[in-house]
Each structure stands twice: as C-alpha cells, then as structure tokens.
Structure 1
Amino acid sequence: MGRKLSGRDFIKIGFPQNNTINIALGQVNRYKKKENKNNILEEAKQVLLNPESFIGDGIWGKVVESMIKQVEVKKHQLNTNRVPFSIYGEDAIDEQTKYQLFTALKLPVAVQGALMPDAHYGYGLPIGGVLATDNAVIPYGVGVDIGCRMSMSVFNLPANFLKGKDHQLLNILSEHTKFGMYDTHKIKADHEVFSREEFKNIPFVKGLLDKAYKQLGTSGSGNHFVEFGIVRLTETKPEWRLEPGEYIAVLSHSGSRGLGANIAKYYTYLATKQCPLPSNAQHLAWLDLNTHDGQEYWLAMNLAGDYAKACHDDIHRRIAKALGKQIAFTIENHHNFAWKEIINGKELIVHRKGATPAAEGQLGIIPGSMTTNGYIVEGLGNTESLNSASHGAGRQHSRAACKQRFTKSEIKKELSSTGVQLIGGSVDEAPMAYKDINAVMQAQSELVKVLGSFTPKFVRMDK
C-alpha cells in the first residue's frame, strides 16, 4: 500500500463518491500529513460506521457534515432594499463609509444596522459599523483584530501622585510593555486561557498556540497603546469603592494579536468559498452558524476575544507590580466582536466592528486621541443603535494622508502644548488624524451617559 492517501482509498472503504472524498483528502492533507496511512483509514472506517459521534470533531466533523447534508455553495445576490438602520453624527461621516454600510444592509442575512459617529471606511463593514444578522457570522464584520478592546485600571492614588515621577512612569512603560509583531516579554506568563478546549480540539487553532503563548501581554502596532493618565470620576459605582475625584489610571488598547489575525484570515477564506457574493460585497461573506465551519469560527472567535482580555490583564498586572500598587477597579470592553443578542424578541448575531457595546447599564471606555480626553460611559440601551456606541473619536485622515499632511515637529508641538509625553508613535497616528471626540460624544448623547473622563499623560505606542 502506497504511503500517500488517494480518493480511491476512501472509495474502497465505502465513502460516497462525491465531494465528501475531496473534503476528507483536504482535511487529512492539512492536519494528518505525518500520520500512518493505515491508521487514518481505520479512523475513517469509524467515521463511516458512526458519523454522528464525529459531529463537531476538528478534523472529521467537516467530512461528516458532507455525508449527512452537504453545505450548499451558491452565489448570493444582494437584496434591492436595505434593512432598517440608524446613523449617528451623519454630517461628519463621508459618503463612501455610508455606502459601505448600505451594501451590508442589503445582505440576505441582514436584519438591522447602525453607524456610529466615529465611523470611517474599512474592509467589509465600515469601522463604526454595527450589523445584526440572522444565524450568520461575517468574519470581516467582526474584523481582523478579533476582540480588539479597551481596558482601564484605576488606582486609589490621587492625581498629584504623577508629579515628579516622569522618569519612573516612562521607564515602567518602556520596560514592561511590548509592541509590534516580534517584541515579546523575556519572562513569559502562563494563563488559564491556554488550557481551553479550543486549543486542543480545533486543529487550525492548535497550530497557533505557541504564537499566542509568546505574545501574551503584548500589544499590536498602529493605533494600539498603553498609557498612564488622570481619571476624573464625576459619578461612581459602589463596587469601585472610590469617591468622585481625580485618580491615576492605566489605559490600554489592543486585541488578540497573531492568534486573532490568523483566525480571521482563515475563516474569511472559508466564508468567501462557501458564500460567493458580488465583487462590491465580497468582504461581507458569511458563515452559516448551522455549519461546521460556522460553529468552529464562533468558538475560535470567542477564544480570541478571551485571549485579548488575557493580554490586557497581563499588561495591567505587570504595570501594577512595577508601580508597587494595587488596582482599585478595572473597566473593559471589546469593540471588534460578534455577540448573540435578543433583538425584537429574536436571537440575532450582532457584529460590532469598531463599536462599543452600550446595553442599559453596561460600562465601557471610549478613548479620544493621545492628546484629548477619553470617557468612561454607561450604556443607555438604545435599540435604534443596536445597543451600541462609538469605539473612539474615529479617524478623519487616513494613515496615508497623515504621512503627506503632518510632520514629526508638528506632532511634538501638539504633544508639548497638551503636556503629553510619548514613547514610540508614528506620523500616521498623529493626534490631528482624529475627529473631535467632544463632537462625537455629543452626537451619541442618546446612546451613552458619561461617568468620568481620562486624560493621557504618558503614552507608549509601537515605533
């Protein structure tokens, strides 16, 4: 018997002569390349004898799905009419961004949409786009950086604690935060997220475990940051155990690193193969949640979201240890994710790509730029916005435009005038690249209530 498996080998043991064989060969070549041919065929026989017991299996689940009910691949057309939607701060949003949402609103699976006041053009859904779908998840509706999020840890330290500590605080940021693709902590931390079943049961995700372990507690490039600043609490919650006033806080912005990026890329590829769409909508390809791949992406996405949280927790733990102080409380939220939520009595998949969850009473962080205030907010549960708000100030100039428009000396002048000290950062993340955060907050006054503000003072970004 030759070493390499062929379709004929599967036919001999009784596999149906259809696309199931191609799927089986694809899975085996991808995940069982080094295994003995006879062992694989013995396993395949068990799949034939008892397919139900292999439903959801990382390798054979897709094969079984093809045996029982093949996934229908057909070219979808967009609907003529849009589903209901709302736009906030419409005057400050360009037409290209609006039309990107309008395309998404015509998807056959779309139910309702919204556009936040910080919205700008992206891939698939616009940044600041919210879309509710029926039993379908759109990988590019979640975004490449799955679980990109904000996390703010507040210390029971008065604002004047910062005085005279410039060198110490900049040194903490320099020594205890890591940015970009390759910079990692010398002393790695373990975390319970690495024991998750998804790392064992989904072969593609299993292959990303080493990368995830190395990158724990690190931040991405671009607009990701870690910063010390001053929180002004105008209202407090009993669980915070702090009176209204001014305190020291650490604010971080980052996502799921290489783990999330690879998951997004892989499942987007699967979605485009299973769900061909017109060229202007191809980035909106979805996975049906009743399929093996849809269920697998959902598990992988949630894992990436929890890993992103673990990264922030590790960043804040390292900084608190270096500062020698205990964290009083933390507020955090995803803003690149999809959730199962009840909308008008029905469970839908709500994608928020660059949008903050703002259900009634839900806490979140909406940052400005590195030289303007961010805000602690409490959701008002506005159903027209699909219980969402902006995820920041939003860009008014693209990265390419920033390189043509601004100089490093202009950025230094802006930083100096606002008393902000920066490690790293590039021209494409100039503070002037962003919209007026106060105008954005005004445009969503019916979506969130402001409980406090955060003023950056010491900022670390990738170089």
Structure 2
Amino acid sequence: MQTPILIDDILTLAPIPEHLYTPFLRVANGLVLRANYPKEKVLGLLAQLFQNPKKYAFSKNKVTNLARAIYDLNKQGIPVPLSEVGKQFLPPDPAPYELLTRTKQTEQTLDLRPEALPYAVFGREYIEEGALKQMETAASLPISLAGALMPDAHQGYGLPIGGVLATEAHTVIPFAVGVDIACRMCLSVFDLPPDFLKREPHLLKKSLVEKTKFGIGGETRDKVDESVMDLPEWQATKVIRDLKDKAYRQLGSSGTGNHFVEWGIVRVETMDDELNLPPGEYLALLSHSGSRGLGGAVANYYSKLAMQKTRLPKQAAHLAWLDLNTEEGQEYWIAMNLAGEYASANHHEIHRKLAKAIDHEPLTMVENHHNFAWKEQLADGREVIVHRKGATPAGDGVLGIIPGSMTQPGFVVRGRGNEASINSASHGAGRQMSRTQAFNKVTRSQLNQALEEAQIQLIGGDLDEAPMVYKNIKTVIDAQKELVSVLATFTPKIVRMADPNRKEGRED
C-alpha cells in the first residue's frame, strides 16, 4: 500500500494557507490511497495546478475545486507561487496531465483471442452450458490473463455468475463486477443457546418485520450510524453526488431477489483461531444484500460508457472495459469502492438494530463480499485486477460465508488460497432454474411443503426463491474442498425476504 501524502509534502510545492490544508490532503490522499495514483504523479498534478491554477480551475478534473481556491487567492493579491522544488515535479510536456483527460479510444471493434485462455472449472458437472460458453468468451478477451469458474456458476450478463476473471492491471470491466456492486454476506453470532428460538419466536419474528426494509420502497428513517455518508468520495463525481440522497434514504435496507435477513442456529464443530468461537451451537443472524440503488445506477452508467469506449464483438459486448489510466476508469473505481463501504454499512445498520431488539451484543461478526474487483497478484507475481462476480474471496486463511437457500444450510469457511481458483470460492448454492422457469414450474403448495418439512418460518419471499430452484448446497461445497475448509454450519429458521409485490429485476 502506498504511503499517504502529508501536508509537508504539499508545502514543499507551494505555501498554501492553513485553511486549505484539509481539502488538499483529502483530494491528494483520495487519489493516492483510494484511486491508487502513484504519489509522485499526484505531486506532479498539484505542481501543475500551482503553476497554472486558471487552467485547472475552469476544466473538468479531479482538482477543480482546489485550483479555484488558489486562483481566487491569486486574484485577491495573495499569491501562492510554485516553489523551485515544485518545478522539479512538472512533466517535460506542458500538455494537460494525462490522467485527467477523458482519453478517446478507437471505435474500431477489437478482436478476441483466436483461442480462449485455459481456466479452471470446479464442479463442471453441475454447471449449465450457457455459463461455460460465457466463461469461454471472457477468457478470450485480449486483456484476460487468468480465469476460473465456481461450482455454483450459472448464466448471467457478460461474465457468468460464479465467474472469476483476472485482467491486465489497468483494466476494469463493470459488467464483470455486476449490477449489485459489493453484494455482501454478514453473520453475527450471539452468546445465546438455540432454544432462544423456541422461547422467543415472537420477538425474533417481530424484530425482522419491524427492523428490516426490502425492495424499491425499502427506505429507513432511523439510522444507528450514518458516518459512511460523510466519506469524501460522495463528492468525487456528479454521478455519485446525484445518488447520495437516495443512498442515504436506503441506508440500512435490503434489495429484492435472493436478498434476505434471517435468524438461525450456527453450529461450530471445532475450535478455530480464525473464527475464535468455542465449539457448540449459538443463535445467529445472517444477511445478504448489497449497495442498493447506488450500485445499480453506477453499474448501468459505467457499463454503457465502457461499451461506447471499448468496441467488442457482439458475444463479448457486455465485457467491455474501462482503462484505469483515464478519468472515466478512475471515476468507476472510486464509485465501486464507495459502494463497497456503503454495502458494509447497510449490513451493520441491520445487525445493530436487530441486536438491540433482542438486547444482546454479538460475540463475533463474519462478513465478505462478491460482485467486486480487487487489485491482486497472480501466483507468478503479475499485477492484475481480479473480478469476482458471484464468487467469494478465499485467499489463505480468509473467512467467508457461503449460504444455501431458505431451507438449506449455509457454511462459514476459511479460504485455502488455491491458485487455480484465483483464491476464490462459490458465493452460494447457485441457481438450477431461472426466475421465469421457477414461476412456471414451482407452485405455492410445493413451497409451503418444503418450508414445513424444514420447519422454516418465511416472511415475504416468492416462488422464484423457492429452495428447489437452487442446487444442492452440500454438493456444491463438496466440489470445492480444495478451495475452502468448513468451520461452522448455519441453519436458517426465521427468514425475511422482499414481499412478492416489490420485485426488481435482478441478475443473481
């Protein structure tokens, strides 16, 4: 990780007044620590700002507001000159700084590789042909360096759900991240015995009804901790700024489709240093949701932009990428990471409210996300961007959660760092029936019978999430024993999902 820029670094460039210390540090370190700009290039950018503040004050770039502040000071007769040290950071070419320009990419259609890169497939016998074809196309991109397919894989848009794709370090594919950016799992384990479910079923059910919100109208009025809304990235781009109010209203809520909040029982078999829970059974709360309207809007906007910038053959069109050395690429990267922070805050809001409702603090919390892109290294040391669309990070020792369905167990796992899977595992059981097929084939009586047999109370939900539309989770777990070790099993008991009349289109 790069070291942050200090105020002394900026003062060596120019003698800015004290009231500008905070905004300069916020922007500079946002570029270094979040957007991953090299420190020297950020100092070079600031040097150009001080040399010609008017140019940067009246053009669209990352330092517009800073440049306007310096320009206004100069107009007021308070000069902020570039120092001799600062001049050493100037590029030899006086043209506008490369990373600030919206580079024009060729409109010529790019060719795919004549043959796809080899990639690992786990549980191939459980994966539909459409997902395999999509992965083959992804592995044929000219920027692809490695790939893997998880045993829960099924067909989606662009990259299949359950697909993992490593691309060149300067490229990110919005549709390989997915529509629900940073969709997460979160588990809270309480120091309460399983019979709490029998003693207080009404309390637990009431807490889910009153403290959770789902779907398009799922907005919350009371917040426990809204500090995520204070992050400076909310002001980074117009796209993000326009979404902030809606994001605030939806903070602490869940989406539709396969999103849920449920009470159940966790069974820990053996002591594990990573999980840090003595063997036994505990009351637990499990949630699955993402970045709500924020993630969906960001995904749609930048996916369309990527398809305009990177022209690909029809079968690969949704795998268009953005270059991280361009402004639009950096904008997406900032928005994606902000969606990750926001998705985590959503879960924490839900878990804190429900913990308060039962008047108990959790012993531990485990969480992980998917539908994201990470800067990582392959086994051979190459720097890459790893896209995990519906796949769980499973590096050596990394904790994660792999859920089943409303009647099937979920599993707390520890990653084994398998290189062939690009340090990944499945993110669930995986669908074996599309939503349309589910509505045509599954009846309400079949769903009710499955719930009764498993002794599950369901609040909300619909036929497209019935347990029979999913693969057998134990089969999926068995297919990835090389990828994860199972530490504990979660059995759902009281499940809350979106009401049937509040459906949104969902990809996974």
Tell me which of 358, 376, 381 is aligned to 2:412.
376
Deviation at 1:164, TM superposition (A): 2.9
Structure-2 residue corresponding to 1:348: 384
Deviation at 1:236, TM superposition (A): 3.4
Secondary structure at the aligned position of 1:217 is classed as: coil
- Cα 1:177/1:292, change in 2 over 3 Å: same
Alignment of 1:56-95 (within 5 A): 56-57=62-63, 70-74=103-107, 75-95=109-129
Secondary structure at the aligned position of 2:176 is classed as: helix
Alignment of 1:98-247 (within 5 A): 98-134=132-168, 135-238=170-273, 242-247=277-282
Amino acid at match of 1:220: G
Q: Answer whether contact 1:51 1:64 (CA < 8 A) is retained.
A: no
Structure 1, 222-231 or 232-241: larger mean CA deviation:
232-241
- Cα 1:56/1:403, change in 2 over 3 Å: same
**1:386-432 deviation per Cα after TM superposition (whole angstroms, max 9, x unaligned):** 00000000000100001111111110110000110000000111110
Alignment of 1:371-410 (within 5 A): 371-410=407-446
Deviation at 1:51, TM superposition (A): 8.6
Deviation at 1:291, TM superposition (A): 1.0
Q: Answer whether contact 1:54 1:60 (CA < 8 A) is retained.
A: no
Structure-2 residue corresponding to 1:424: 460
Deviation at 1:241, TM superposition (A): 5.2
Partner Cα distance (1:141, 1:342) in 2: 18
Structure-2 residue corresponding to 1:327: 362
Structure-2 residue corresponding to 1:14: none
Amino acid at match of 2:435: R
Structure 1, 167-176 or 452-461: larger mean CA deviation:
167-176
Partner Cα distance (2:154, 2:236) in 1: 37
Q: Which runs of 5+ in 1 are unaligned?
A: 1-42
Deviation at 1:170, TM superposition (A): 0.8
TM-score, normalised with respect to structure 2: 0.79
Partner Cα distance (1:202, 1:266) in 2: 12
**1:221-267 deviation per Cα after TM superposition (whole angstroms, max 9, x unaligned):** 00000000000011334475531000000000000000110110111
Structure-2 residue corresponding to 1:34: none
Q: Answer whether contact 1:180 1:220 (CA < 8 A) is retained.
A: yes
Q: Answer whether contact 2:56 2:64 (CA < 8 A) is retained.
A: no
- Cα 1:239/1:428, change in 2 over 3 Å: closer
Q: Answer whether contact 1:147 1:255 (CA < 8 A) is retained.
A: yes
- Cα 1:197/1:81, change in 2 over 3 Å: same
- Cα 1:225/1:54, change in 2 over 3 Å: same
- Cα 1:234/1:199, change in 2 over 3 Å: same
Partner Cα distance (1:79, 1:192) in 2: 46
Structure-2 residue corresponding to 1:25: none
Alignment of 1:9-28 (within 5 A): none
- Cα 1:341/1:241, change in 2 over 3 Å: closer
**1:177-221 deviation per Cα after TM superposition (whole angstroms, max 9, x unaligned):** 100011222324442221112111212101111011000000000
CA RMSD, Structure 1 to Structure 2 (Å): 2.3
Deviation at 1:326, TM superposition (A): 0.6
Matched, 1:446 2:446: no
Deviation at 1:47, TM superposition (A): 7.0
- Cα 1:155/1:283, change in 2 over 3 Å: same
Q: Answer whether contact 1:189 1:216 (CA < 8 A) is retained.
A: no
Amino acid at match of 2:425: A
- Cα 1:311/1:121, change in 2 over 3 Å: same
Structure 1, 337-346 or 186-195: larger mean CA deviation:
186-195
Partner Cα distance (1:386, 1:68) in 2: 33
Q: Answer whether contact 2:310 2:320 (CA < 8 A) is retained.
A: yes
Amino acid at match of 2:106: V
Matched, 1:257 2:263: no
- Cα 1:58/1:170, change in 2 over 3 Å: farther
Partner Cα distance (1:60, 1:277) in 2: 38
Q: Answer whether contact 1:124 1:284 (CA < 8 A) is retained.
A: yes
Partner Cα distance (1:327, 1:58) in 2: 45
Structure-2 residue corresponding to 1:294: 329
- Cα 1:306/1:50, change in 2 over 3 Å: closer
Alignment of 1:41-56 (within 5 A): 49=55, 55-56=61-62
